[in-house]
Amino acid sequence: MHRRLLIAPAIIAAAALLTACSNGNTGGDSNEKVTLTYGVWAGTQTPAMKEIAAAFTKENPNITVKVEERPWPEYWSTLQTGAAGGTAPDAFWMLAQNIRPYASGGQLLDVSDEIKKEKVDLSKYPKAVLDLYDQGDGKIYGLPKDVDTNAVWFNKAIFDKAGVAHPSANWTWDDFRATAKKLTDPAAGVWGVAAPIDYQGGYYNTIFQAGGQVISDDGKTAEIDSPKAQKGIEFWTNLQADKSSPTLKQLSDTEAETMFEQGKVAMYMSGAYWALKLYQNKQIAANVDVAPLPVGEKRATVTSGIVNVGFAGTKHPDAVKKFLLFASGKEAAEIQAKSGAVLPAYEGGEKAWMAAMPEFKNLQVFIDAKEYSVPLPVQGNAAEWQGDQTKYLTGAWEGTTSVADATKQYAGAIDKVLAEK
């Protein structure tokens, strides 16, 4: 394994030489036949992406787009080495947590001129997601293709069997905690809720609901140890203390989402992106329903979305820009929505998304959640400090460290990362 890792840079170096040789032709001729590659990671969305590529070729007969799928764990390391070596896909998916080094390293195409030329109406896209990708350099690297907000997936069968009323639209934190407790039945191996250490689908939401925030407004210091943020974290540690959730060890062995699909947990707080997977699971689909997040001090959900970006090293920048706007545009949104794979970012695509899964009657909660959504905190080297979460928070979840101590130490670690330039 190690040797393979060492060889990788060499292959890239060789590849860089090769592409350097063939870079002579930048191809300004618009009638030229061009093939673009489009890097994606999610298998469930690949059919829709292929359909979008085909629709684009129909409009632009000279441009063919080949969808290249890579599994999630490899996606970022392959992309990083590919971009450094000049062999990255022409267009690819980007996440807000990861965009910073690519943008500052000059690896991404600026599409703002194309947006102006094509008169794209930016108000059709969720502002929180656009803000998330704003690098403060006046450039726009891409437009979101989808948006995700959070809600509470729940298993109706477990509720009904326990004789517990389904969540109301205005349920509070206390209601949530009490419901989880009532639904838990150790004898049957059923827990009321899954309470893992999950930032996006979990504790970030409750931190904002408690009126706190994860990182300060200026992006320089962590505020995860503020009293309000601590309340947001206690929301989860309380569920663990109540034994309303499988332990962290159990959730490490079997992920929360899998537990929910197996009917072992009654409630799972997470994103709209699970809708299709749950819908396609014949064993559980009929029992699945969804409710809005419980209300703390206020309503809040973190939001994010995948953005289509272009590789600065592409040989066909004009074709790529054209494709990027198409892949995040209205028609592509409808194709995505019809497949049910994700909630499209482009305004108006929601109806088709809901219509794709007619038995899920309450999907509207994800769309309503856009109203009170806040951008996912991704300041600084987010991959680094978010990756540290289990190191510092596990003690709090397991009840061996106080929330105050755990968050204080974690905040110190985040501050250190944020201080690095």
Partner 1 sequence: MRATLDRPGRQQRRPGPTSPPRLRRRRNRIDWWAIPMIVPAFIGLAALYLWPFLSTFVKSFMKVPVFGPGTFTGVDNYTKLLSDEDFWRALGNSARYTLLVLLGIPIAIVLAALIEQAAKGRTLYRVLFFLPVVTLPVAVGMVWRFILNGDFGILNYLLSLVGVPGEYWVADDRFTIYAFAVVGIWMGLGVNLIILGAGLQSIPVELYEASAVDGAGRIRQFFSITLPLLSPSVFFVTVLTIISALQMFDLVFVMLGSVNNTAIDGSKTIVYLFYEAAFVQFKQGYGAAIAIVLLVIIMIATAIQFRLQRRWVNYD
Binding site for partner 1 (CB under 8 A): 1-3, 5-7, 9-10, 13-14, 73, 76-77, 80, 83-84, 101-102, 104-107, 196-198, 248-256, 381, 383-384, 387, 390-391, 394, 397
Using DSSP, state whether 155 is helix, strand or coil: strand
**Least CB distance to partner 1 at residue 345 (A):** 25
Using DSSP, state whether 282 is helix, strand or coil: coil
- The smaller minimum CB distance to partner 1, of residues 77 and 170, is found at 77
Contacts of 118 (CB under 8 A, 6+ apart): 325
**Least CB distance to partner 1 at residue 116 (A):** 27
- The smaller minimum CB distance to partner 1, of residues 204 and 360, is found at 204
- The smaller minimum CB distance to partner 1, of residues 240 and 301, is found at 240
Q: Give the residue among 150, 70, 134 at the shortest CA–CA distance from 343.
A: 150
Per the listing, tokens 């809708």 go with 275
Residue 7 CA: distances (Å) to CA of 2, 16, 21, 164: 9, 14, 22, 58
- The smaller minimum CB distance to partner 1, of residues 27 and 105, is found at 105
**Least CB distance to partner 1 at residue 211 (A):** 26
**Least CB distance to partner 1 at residue 138 (A):** 20
**Least CB distance to partner 1 at residue 241 (A):** 16
**Least CB distance to partner 1 at residue 1 (A):** 5
Q: Which two tokens stand for residue 163?
A: 């004789």
Q: Give the residue among 247, 301, 242 at the shortest CA–CA distance from 269.
A: 301
Contact between 180 and 239 under an 8 Å Cβ cutoff? The reply is yes
- The smaller minimum CB distance to partner 1, of residues 77 and 168, is found at 77
Q: Which two tokens stand for residue 114?
A: 């194309």
Residue 151 CA: distances (Å) to CA of 274, 279, 318, 370, 411: 11, 16, 39, 11, 27
- The smaller minimum CB distance to partner 1, of residues 14 and 419, is found at 14
